[in-house]
Amino acid sequence: MERYATIAGLGIALPTSVDQREVWDGYFQHQYSGPRRALAKRIFENAGVRTRQAAVSPLLEDVANWSTEQRMRRYQVEAIPLGKEAAARAIAEAGLTADQIGLFAVCSCTGYATPGLDILLARDLGMAPDLQRLFVGHMGCYAALPGLGTAADFVVARGRPALLLCAELTSLHLQPPAVRADVQQIVSHALFSDAAAAVVLIPGDGGGYAVREVAAVTDSTTADHMTWEVTDRGFRMGLSPRVPDVLAVHVRGLVVDLLARHGLTIGDVDGWAVHPGGPKILDVVGEQLGLDEAALAPSREVLTAYGNCSSPTVLLVLDALRRRAAPPRRVLMLAFGPGLTLYGTLLETSTVTA
């Protein structure tokens, strides 16, 4: 008999929301001039984002010329309470206490410190001294899925609950004026947002989604298409316009092969949690998989309401799916990031896996 880890709790924590138009009118339009301003305005208007969250809003505090050290210190200040809130909600929903968690995995690519979030939050939440911890850094937007896979493997192997936290503060990495006029930086500043999302996994049937499989494909020939470089003025995004073309080559094969291993086809999936890296990303996934707009609606709605929050974003889409009046029984999660890397995860409710 196959054994599974089941998602028993999911918690979300968000900083203050800001309006995309207000951010443009109040800050970004003043950072460009001439044709570059017109181009930037179009990018902001077509990003598919209406509101997003910012732990450090440029409308209140301009960090563009801060050193990386200053940004990392602020990361600790902002990320700890945000991560604690998301983790506590996930643990409570799972009906557990923090000291019952056996593995605490943290994914974040927007800040680093030692002791890190894994240690400080384990202390603040009251986790057990024999807790095992894992920190996953610099995997970017797809990190939630390998994190979920690792946590699920622990649960199955050890028979103990695991907690996964994804926390990102992209607002800390606003680039200096000399850099942000680059088109890739404009796109980044128009899309990215802050959030924390946590999931608790437990052994067996907990009434939630069982993690059936996590799969990946990496095209290392396109490694330069998406980058996240540490500079003296924060972390700098590199985002090639060719990213959707690479996804178009690989996404259908990843999905078809993953589903085939479970005797399934695309038509058997009734819930799609696709990382909304941007409108074009969702367009390409829809075209390659033959999905209609209803299937992609949850992902587009998350992009509109929250922006691209990097690693937590696909978990925001999963949360939206499970809160529907009729939640899907079978969910395929997809996320993409540096590598270029594509990750897919198949989830099924207990009524399907039984």
- Taken in order 128, 129, 130, 133, the sign of the CA dihedral is positive
Q: Quote the CA–CA distance of 231 and 227 in Å, as a whole number.
A: 12
Name the residue type at position 49: V
- Known catalytic residue: 166? no
In the structure encoding, which two tokens stand for residue 335, read together? 């996320």
Q: Which long-range contacts (CB under 8 A, 24 or more apart) does 217-222 make?
A: 217/250, 217/253, 217/254, 217/341, 217/342, 218/339, 218/340, 218/341, 218/342, 219/246, 219/249, 219/250, 219/339, 219/340, 219/341, 220/339, 222/246, 222/339, 222/340
Query: Taking Cα atoms as reference points, which of 318, 322, 315 lies closest to residue 197?
Result: 315
- CB 164 within 8 Å of CB 148: yes
Residue 185 sits at the vertex; the CA angle it makes with 45 and 64, to the nearest 5 degrees, is 105
Name the residue type at position 317: V
Residue 29 sits at the vertex; the CA angle it makes with 39 and 71, to the nearest 5 degrees, is 105
Name the residue type at position 104: F
Pairing of strands 162-169, 103-107: parallel
Query: Taking Cα atoms as reference points, which of 332, 354, 352 lies closest to residue 344?
Result: 332
**Class of residue 265 by CB neighbours under 10 A (exposed 0-12, middle 13-18, buried 19+):** exposed
Active-site annotation holder among 107, 109, 141, 309: 141
Peptide bond into 298 cis (omega under 30): no
Q: What residues act catalytically?
A: 141
